[in-house]
């Protein structure tokens, strides 16, 4: 067999990238928590009908992009293409509508869409996202949009445009759709074939079309924001006002209908002006006041967003976490002290909570010392030396070369002192407080 590769449109995160990803998610998680959101985890696959109904039969996601399959029991299943319908499904299934409203949930999960891969677009991508269920108050829209803005701030992402639009509701949208349909029908000759179909199935989807001639036609089309009913108008105006009140600068974009059918009223996207390619939307979402009812729950308004980790990672200002080795590397000097080295490493990690490694491939003592240096360890703990007193281990500071013999029973105290000094002198990657360097060095140098 030729060497296996990851499937098209997927990627591996190697350790440095995985650690940076974890840092980004941890920052988002802290912000979610500070706004009172709690994490939810739902299955990687759901019944296909959930997405067909929730996301919408006429959307590209449902028509062309789902990874759907029958399982061995004949169930029709789909790998989750997006996070909102599953969260709403869980909300209904677990009776969360009985909880204090709004119910605030966040998630971090992979999404699967059979799209044409390109820069910033994958077949498996990860999103962090949030959903607030149970209130149609415009404060919810503003709070969630501002929360995502804060996450981006904390990730040091600059140069963003906040685009917003309103999709209206069941009162005003049907009449607008007829108006739009009439307009599109009159311009049918100028539209691409797909938009011809969309005119019939779901005219709003025409706004997603990237074909230049279609876009030209649409710049003349009637706009939903100009045809909102009074309650939708007031709702949207309040959202805009609240966003400005907290220092955001929403820009109206009449094309922002988003690729999912469940939206009502507010839609929004944060677009990065730093990404030099088409996929510049790093996060987006909106209000979906009909979705929970559509999938069988009680009427429940909702608002949320999803943000793509791959794109966020490209623009995040955070530095990559430094590669850190273990604090200690245990070196065995005699073939029959390998088990002692292993047991000592285990004692360090488990009982003393000191990051430690020992040789696992049968290196010579010299090669182990070399590996200790290469690993980034600050200390080597030497065992199996002829001149060592029984029950003692020799600790060598790998920077200064200073050595000291320490009784095994006192190793915990020794590390406490050393780590205390570490904090003052800046040995690097470990914590503690107090002073005194048991090796008598200069306090660890200049890291």
Contacting residues toward ligand HAM, per CB under 6 A: 82-84, 113, 115, 120-122, 125, 127, 129, 131, 258-260, 281-286, 288, 304-308, 310-311
Q: How many residues does the chain have?
A: 447
Nearer to ligand HAM, 301 or 306 (CB): 306
Task: Return d(Cα 145, Cα 150) in angstroms, integer.
Answer: 9
- Indicate the residue among 82 and 169 with the shorter CB distance to ligand HAM: 82
Between 150 and 213, CB nearer to ligand HAM: 150
Q: How far is the CB of 228 from ligand HAM (least distance, A)?
A: 20
Nearer residue to ligand HAM within complex by CB, 305 or 418: 305
Nearer to ligand HAM, 282 or 345 (CB): 282
When the beta carbons of 286 and 384 are compared against ligand HAM, the nearer one is 286
Instruction: Give yes or no for a contact between 65 and 115, defined as CB atoms under 8 angstroms apart.
Output: yes
Environment class of 436 (CB within 10 Å of its CB; exposed 0-12, middle 13-18, buried 19+): exposed
CB 121 → ligand HAM: shortest distance, Å? Answer: 4
**Pick from 122, 103, 233: nearest CA to 169:** 233
State the nearest-atom distance from the C-beta of 222 to ligand HAM, in Å. Answer: 24
Looking at beta carbons only, is 315 or 372 nearer to ligand HAM?
315
Q: State the minimum distance, in angstroms, from the CB of residue 162 to ligand HAM.
A: 13
CB of 125 to ligand HAM, least distance (A): 3
Write down the least CB distance from residue 209 to ligand HAM, Å: 16
Closest separation between CB of residue 271 and ligand HAM, Å? 9
Distance in Å, CB of 304 to ligand HAM, minimum? 3
CA–CA distance, 167 with 254 (Å, rounded to integer): 9
Structure tokens at 358: 């020992």
Task: List all residues 6 or more positions away from 286 whose beta carbon is below 8 Å from its beta carbon.
Answer: 167, 258, 263, 264, 265, 266, 267, 268, 303, 304, 305
Q: Name the residue nearer to ligand HAM (CB basis): 48 or 213.
A: 48
The rounded distance, in Å, linking the Cα atoms of 254 and 419 is 59
Return the structure tokens found at 175: 């009449």
Q: Supply angle C-alpha 396, 398, 401, rounded to 5.
A: 65
Taking the least distance from each CB to ligand HAM, the nearer of 121 and 429 is: 121
CB of 55 to ligand HAM, least distance (A): 8
**Nearest partner of 282 among 310, 254, 255, judged by Cα:** 310
The Cα angle at residue 33 between residues 28 and 36, in degrees rounded to 5: 135
Closer residue to ligand HAM in complex, CB, 283/444: 283
Q: Which is nearer to ligand HAM, 308 or 425 (CB)?
A: 308
The least distance separating ligand HAM from the CB of residue 278, rounded to whole angstroms, comes to 12
Q: Closest distance between ligand HAM and the C-beta of residue 283, in Å?
A: 5
The structure tokens listed for 148 are 């995502």
Least distance CB 407 / ligand HAM (angstroms): 56
Of 126 and 414, which has the nearer Cβ to ligand HAM?
126
Give yes or no for a contact between 439 and 422, defined as CB atoms under 8 angstroms apart: no
């Amino acid at each position: 067999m030729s060497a296996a590769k990851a499937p098209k449109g997927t990627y591996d995160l190697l350790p440095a990238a995985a650690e940076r990803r974890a840092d980004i998610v941890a920052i988002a998680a802290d912000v979610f928590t500070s706004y009172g959101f709690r994490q939810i985890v739902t299955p990687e696959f759901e019944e296909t009908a959930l997405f067909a109904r929730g996301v919408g039969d006429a959307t590209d996601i449902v028509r062309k992009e789902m990874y759907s399959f029958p399982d061995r029991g004949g169930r029709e299943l789909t790998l989750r293409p997006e996070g909102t319908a599953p969260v709403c499904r869980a909300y209904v299934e677990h009776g969360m509508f009985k909880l204090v409203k709004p119910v605030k949930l966040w998630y971090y999960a992979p999404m699967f869409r059979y799209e044409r891969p390109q820069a910033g677009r994958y077949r498996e991508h990860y999103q962090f996202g949030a959903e607030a269920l149970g209130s149609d108050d415009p404060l919810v829209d503003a709070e969630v949009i501002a929360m995502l803005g804060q996450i981006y701030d904390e990730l040091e992402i600059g140069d963003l445009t906040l685009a917003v639009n309103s999709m209206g509701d069941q009162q005003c949208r049907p009449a607008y759709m007829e108006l739009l349909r009439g307009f599109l029908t009159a311009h049918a000759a100028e539209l691409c074939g797909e938009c011809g179909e969309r005119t019939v199935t779901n005219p709003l989807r025409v706004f997603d079309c990237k074909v230049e001639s279609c876009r030209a036609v649409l710049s003349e089309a009637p706009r939903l924001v100009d045809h909102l009913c009074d309650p939708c108008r007031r709702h949207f105006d309040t959202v805009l006002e609240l966003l400005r009140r907290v220092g955001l600068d929403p820009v109206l974009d009449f094309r922002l209908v988003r690729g999912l059918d469940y939206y009502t009223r507010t839609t929004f996207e944060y677009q990065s002006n730093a990404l030099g390619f088409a996929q510049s939307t790093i996060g987006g979402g909106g209000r979906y006041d009909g979705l929970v009812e559509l999938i069988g729950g009680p009427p429940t308004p909702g608002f949320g967003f999803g943000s793509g980790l791959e794109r966020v990672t490209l623009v995040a200002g955070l530095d990559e976490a430094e590669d850190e080795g273990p604090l200690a590397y245990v070196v065995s000097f005699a073939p029959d002290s390998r088990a002692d080295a292993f047991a000592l490493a285990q004692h360090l990690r488990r009982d003393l909570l000191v990051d430690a490694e020992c040789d696992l491939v049968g290196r010579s003592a010299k090669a182990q010392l070399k590996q200790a240096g290469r690993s980034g360890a600050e200390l080597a703990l030497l065992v199996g030396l002829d001149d060592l007193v029984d029950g003692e281990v020799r600790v060598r500071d790998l920077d200064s070369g200073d050595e000291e013999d320490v009784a095994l029973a006192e190793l915990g105290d020794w590390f406490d002192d050393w780590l205390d000094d570490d904090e003052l002198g800046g040995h690097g990657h470990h914590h503690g407080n107090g002073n005194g360097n048991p090796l008598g060095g200069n306090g660890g140098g200049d890291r």
